[in-house]
Amino acid sequence: MRFIDLNADLGEGGVEDEVLLGLVSSANIACGGHAGDELTMRRTIESALAAGVVLGAHPGYEDRVHFGRRALVLPLEQVTGLVRRQVGKLAELAGRAGARLNHVKPHGALYNQADRDALLAAAVVKGITDVSSDLMLYAPPAGQLAAAGQAAGLALCAEGFADRRYLENGSLMPRAEPGAVITNVDDAVAQAMAIVSNGKVDSLCVHGDGPTGVTILQALRTALEADGLTIRSKLRD
């Protein structure tokens, strides 16, 4: 049997989180950096558990004005600290709810920069392992972030994106470029299915704040299941 995980970034103030939770198998929950606060974290954890969705932390730059999507240059120890603080807080709240975190997926600019920069990637991973070395890391399948996670002994969930264009070198097209965000449902599904056919990813992401995120996920689930895939989270050991 073939499996694929569907994930979305939630708890970011979007109005469709409850619907999205009915379509995904994993939730990456904003934990107070680029978005979210203790109340939204608690509510999203509760809703995810009620929907049977696996919990993950979604730490990002503490830059709410730019939603964590502006590239920053910070001291590496500061990056480690913000990741540790955010992941630790969500892990604490999950524990209070009788659950535990399965994974961590860095957000926005932090995700993209760390995938290109080995030192930054190591700083991010250090923040994660300071909370728990049992957490799984969501990252692109071939990059510095995955390499740093594997070097630290973290399990890896290789991720692709249904609603973001890629450059020829395999990195995500910067959001400022025209067409970087895919809103057309057919285009998003076609790209996702092509990614899955390569056999290099364990999970597909659809952004929860996208204007057609729900419609894309609905169509993508149908296409994946028609192709014989079972939608299920990749769980840590």
Portion of the chain with pLDDT greater than 70, in percent? 100
Mean pLDDT of 62-70: 96
Mean pLDDT of 82-110: 98
pLDDT at 149 over 90: yes
* Domain parsing of the chain, residue ranges: 2-231
pLDDT at 51 over 90: yes
In this structure, the chain runs to a length of 237
Mean pLDDT of 54-70: 97
Mean pLDDT of 35-49: 97
pLDDT at 210: 83
pLDDT at 208: 83
Highest mean pLDDT among 41-45, 172-176, 197-201: 41-45
pLDDT at 237 over 90: no
Q: Name the one residue in this structure whose structure tokens are 């957490």.
A: 135
Q: Which band of pLDDT confidence, cut at 50, 70 and 90, is reported for residue 209?
A: confident
97-114 tens-digit pLDDT? 999 999 999 999 999 999
pLDDT at 25 over 80: yes
Which SS3 state, helix, strand or coil, does residue 28 take? strand
Architecture of the domain whose range is 2-231: Alpha-Beta Barrel (3.20)
pLDDT at 236 over 90: no
pLDDT at 152: 98
Q: Which band of pLDDT confidence, cut at 50, 70 and 90, is reported for residue 56?
A: very high
Mean pLDDT of 27-40: 97
For the chain, what is the mean pLDDT?
A: 96
